[in-house]
Amino acid sequence: MKRRLVAGLVVSAAFGALATAAASAAPPAWPTAGFRPTCDSFQQAAGVPYALTYNDNTPPLITSATISHKNVVGPDAKARITITATATDHCSGVGAFGFYLKRNGTSDPIGILPVTNNDAFHAKVVFVAPATPLNTPPMVITLDRTAAWDRYSTFTLDASDKLLNSTPRNPATDIGSLWAGPPQNCYVVQESRLVAKPSAVSVRKGTVVHFVATLTYWSGSGFTPNAGVQIRLQRRIGSGKWMLASKEMTSAAGKAVFVITPTKTASYQVVFAADLAKGQDIANTKPVVVAVH
């Protein structure tokens, strides 16, 4: 976690809608009276008794920045990529955040400029990206860097800490701080559905049990059989660990049949360990108990 300085944030023309949607609100005015700022310097305001003009030349300290791990696209169309960031600034407060995103490793970052809501000198922003163009799997969105800017470069408060005037920071041209933590990926994937049913849930020892499983994925217009992928049957005895019982490849109809001969009562589940980078989500069935007597 490092804090660096960054001048401005370039907004890709293709993603201008993202910036517009994010920066719809103006920075709030000075917070509740009684919050005395701690700034680099201040001086008596000309012509206003007991008023002070403050100078904020120290960028905010970004304390966290995260992106949702995955964005699952399904029939409800509600999935979205969410970015959350927090920062502190004990002079004028935090005025804006910016996010440098990469789509499928592109060398051109996507600039987003959401304006924050502030609580005294602490700020938090939760940015929910629009569905278009970031909702088409397979896609990997990387949160590469996060930037933050002061609310004001200079501002004047009266004796009651009421804001008299201010000069807002301009994220497009002014210096801000930069969070250069490890890049984080958000995987845009298709929803997977996996169902499985055993031929019996209570058997005598040595009886053959068939688990019939079906795997589908959201294709954009409906759920389609997921053919030619591996799914696994797992077994757990009591409260122990899940262990591999069998593995099969799905047919053209997305089906697979597991054949087992239980010797002890155990729980079973079927798991699809998808590669998120390929655009499909993981899935597993609810555990079901097969009793042996």
Q: Which letter, b or e, does each residue of 265-277 get, where b requires 16 or more Cβ atoms within 10 Å of its Cβ?
A: ebbbbbbbebebe
Please check whether residues 164 and 86 belong to one and the same domain.
yes
Confidence of residue 179 (pLDDT cuts 50, 70, 90): confident
Q: How many residues does the chain have?
A: 293
Please check whether residues 149 and 209 belong to one and the same domain.
no
* pLDDT, position 153: 93
Pairing verdict, β 288-292 and 202-203: parallel
Q: What's the number of CA atoms in the CB half-sphere (13 Å) around residue 15?
A: 23
Please check whether residues 117 and 76 belong to one and the same domain.
yes
Confidence of residue 20 (pLDDT cuts 50, 70, 90): very low
User: What is the rounded CA–CA span in Å between residue 26 and residue 166?
Assistant: 13
Domain boundary among 189, 219, 235: 189
Domains in the chain, number: 2
Domain boundary among 148, 173, 189: 189
* pLDDT, position 2: 40
Domain boundary among 129, 155, 189: 189
Confidence of residue 159 (pLDDT cuts 50, 70, 90): confident
Please check whether residues 150 and 283 belong to one and the same domain.
no
Please check whether residues 40 and 159 belong to one and the same domain.
yes
User: What is the rounded CA–CA span in Å between residue 10 and residue 172?
Assistant: 7
Mean of the pLDDT values across residues 167-178? 86
Domain hosting residue 235, numbered range: 191-292
SS3 22: helix
Please check whether residues 115 and 147 belong to one and the same domain.
yes
Judge whether residue 253 has pLDDT over 70.
yes
Tens digits of per-residue pLDDT, 107-158?
655 666 555 555 557 888 887 776 666 677 888 988 988 889 888 999 999 8
Please check whether residues 202 and 149 belong to one and the same domain.
no
Residue of 283, 287, 192, 291 whose CA lies nearest to 242: 287
Please check whether residues 56 and 103 belong to one and the same domain.
yes
- Of the two residues 109 and 97, the one the predictor is more confident about is 97
